[in-house]
Structure 1
Amino acid sequence: MRKILNIKNISNAVLILFFIAIIIVPSAKAMVLVGLMKAGLFSPDTSAPAAQPLRDLSGIQFKDINGKITDLGDLKGKVIFLNFWATWCPPCIAEMPGVNKLYERFKNESDIVFILADADGNLTKSQKFMQRKKFALPIFSVASEVPEVLFQGSLPTTIVFDKQGRIMYNEAGAANYGNQKFIEFINRLKTTN
């Protein structure tokens, strides 16, 4: 019995249980990702944004919890932060603290709009998630077709448009949007016409 319960075997068992928890429990996976983001990994790369124009953002619509429709075409002249996410998605959950930090930094600025589009379209569930996590992020459901150039189905996906409606950032996967580099990126977009 003493040979089985030695330090090496116990530490190996704990390590195996840790990895099983990460695989099975989405919130455990999200916690690991949050820790990696805080360590500096998963930083969004804004160094060389390739501006990609869309012909027209009109008709790309999102609906808030009150039923109000927001059309991206009506937001010309504003910087748009668009994030596709889901409550069951560990990378989405992991990046929410950073997204919330970014939102808190810019929420009172009229020339910046945040749209967090719940890929499942269950705004009641999304609202409860936001309240439980104490996030004040504006949630929407998709209310129209979304061009594949914007969203190909990977969660999370984040797109940032400049004031002319050009895609300045488009990435699938979790990132820390609350870091100083990304805040500076949004500030640059905000001040350029």
Structure 2
Amino acid sequence: MRLNTIISIITIFLIFSCGNKKTEKIIYYKTPNGKIITSKAFDSMKVKLSEHGKLDKVIITSMIEKGDSIIKSYLIGVVPTDSDGKPINPFGNAEKFIEKKLPFNSLTTIKGELLNIDDLKGKPTLINFWFINCPPCIKEMPELNAIKEHYGNSVNFLAITFDTKEKVSVFLKKMKFDFIHITDSKNEIDKIGNEAYPMNMFLDKNGVVRFVRGNLTEKDGKDFKMIIDKLL
């Protein structure tokens, strides 16, 4: 066999082999607010979430292949646990404030304005406790916005988080959340003893806590409206 023929056969074999070699795709994750993060960042986020309780299963809601990448959208739940790792009532501490007033007198909005709790009197108040890396928190925002639009100025709507003003400002540029925002509020949240997110707290016209609920679903939207209607 001539040398040129041998070289041609080897070349064809190499081209065929390379063409059939499967390239391992890179996994990315799409957060509920639309941000694309790496697998390493996703693992770091799960570690941070685990500080608030036991991670529930990760639910992959969709998966899209783009070139050499796979982008997965997801949801993660967090189940609060005691020191032995046993599940606890996630809203047990907050529920102790039912029929009582909040354990703080004032808050500072993301705009730097002082909000006295007494300023809320005269209207029912819905307070949503959340943070930017909480998928269930982000998932309920469209429904919360719809409730806000439904009641308008007849109800106070507050969103309280321990996240910084800077982080929340960036978040709100990408995700609509039409509440009055209170940031940097770890001390106030600790006073309530909240251990689960999201949490929704309903106050009557006198600023007294009447109901505590977890995350809002489309089905729960009717329940939230029933509660507000009772307080109006």
Q: Which TM class, normalised by the smaller chain length?
A: 0.5 to 0.7
1:106 aligns with 2:151: yes
In 1, the alpha carbon distance for the partners of 2:174 and 2:187 equals 30
In 2 relative to 1, CA 159–21 (structure 1 residues): closer, same or farther, beyond 3 Å?
closer
Relative to the length of structure 1, the TM-score reads 0.62
In 2 relative to 1, CA 137–166 (structure 1 residues): closer, same or farther, beyond 3 Å?
closer
In 2 relative to 1, CA 181–106 (structure 1 residues): closer, same or farther, beyond 3 Å?
same
Shift of 1:161: 0.6
In 2, the alpha carbon distance for the partners of 1:51 and 1:114 equals 19
In 2, the alpha carbon distance for the partners of 1:145 and 1:89 equals 19
In 1, the alpha carbon distance for the partners of 2:106 and 2:72 equals 30
Q: Identity over aligned residues, as a percent? A: 26
Q: Deviations over 1:75-127 (max 9, x none)?
A: 22221111110110111111111111111112232xx211101222x223223
Task: Give the counterpart of 1:70 among 109, 112, 115.
Answer: 115
In 1, the alpha carbon distance for the partners of 2:112 and 2:72 equals 30
Compute the RMSD of aligned alpha carbons: 3.4
Higher share of residues assigned strand: 2
Q: Specify every segment of 5 or more residues in structure 2 that has no aligned partner in the other structure, as ranges.
A: 1-56, 62-70, 78-94
In 1, the alpha carbon distance for the partners of 2:185 and 2:97 equals 25
Query: Does structure 1 conserve the Cα–Cα contact (< 8 Å) formed by 2:140 and 2:216?
Result: yes
1:93 aligns with 2:134: no
Aligned match of 1:22: 60
In 1, the alpha carbon distance for the partners of 2:72 and 2:140 equals 13
1:176 aligns with 2:214: no
Shift of 1:168: 1.5
Q: Deviations over 1:157-187 (max 9, x none)?
A: 211011122222113x422377233213212
Query: Does structure 2 conserve the Cα–Cα contact (< 8 Å) formed by 1:61 and 1:142?
Result: no
In 2, the alpha carbon distance for the partners of 1:28 and 1:132 equals 18
AA matched with 2:217: N
SS of residue in 2 equivalent to 1:146: helix
In 1, the alpha carbon distance for the partners of 2:105 and 2:150 equals 26
SS of residue in 2 equivalent to 1:107: helix
Aligned match of 1:188: 230
In 1, the alpha carbon distance for the partners of 2:125 and 2:137 equals 18
AA matched with 2:121: K
AA matched with 1:126: V
Aligned match of 1:129: 171
In 2 relative to 1, CA 183–70 (structure 1 residues): closer, same or farther, beyond 3 Å?
same
Corresponding pairs, count: 149
Aligned match of 1:5: none
In 2 relative to 1, CA 77–132 (structure 1 residues): closer, same or farther, beyond 3 Å?
same
Q: Deviations over 1:19-62 (max 9, x none)?
A: 87739x995217x9xxxxxxxxxxxxxxxx999322x5473322
Q: Specify every segment of 5 or more residues in structure 1 that has no aligned partner in the other structure, as ranges.
A: 1-18, 33-48
SS of residue in 1 equivalent to 2:188: coil
In 2 relative to 1, CA 89–179 (structure 1 residues): closer, same or farther, beyond 3 Å?
same
Relative to the length of structure 2, the TM-score reads 0.53
AA matched with 2:195: G
Shift of 1:145: 4.3
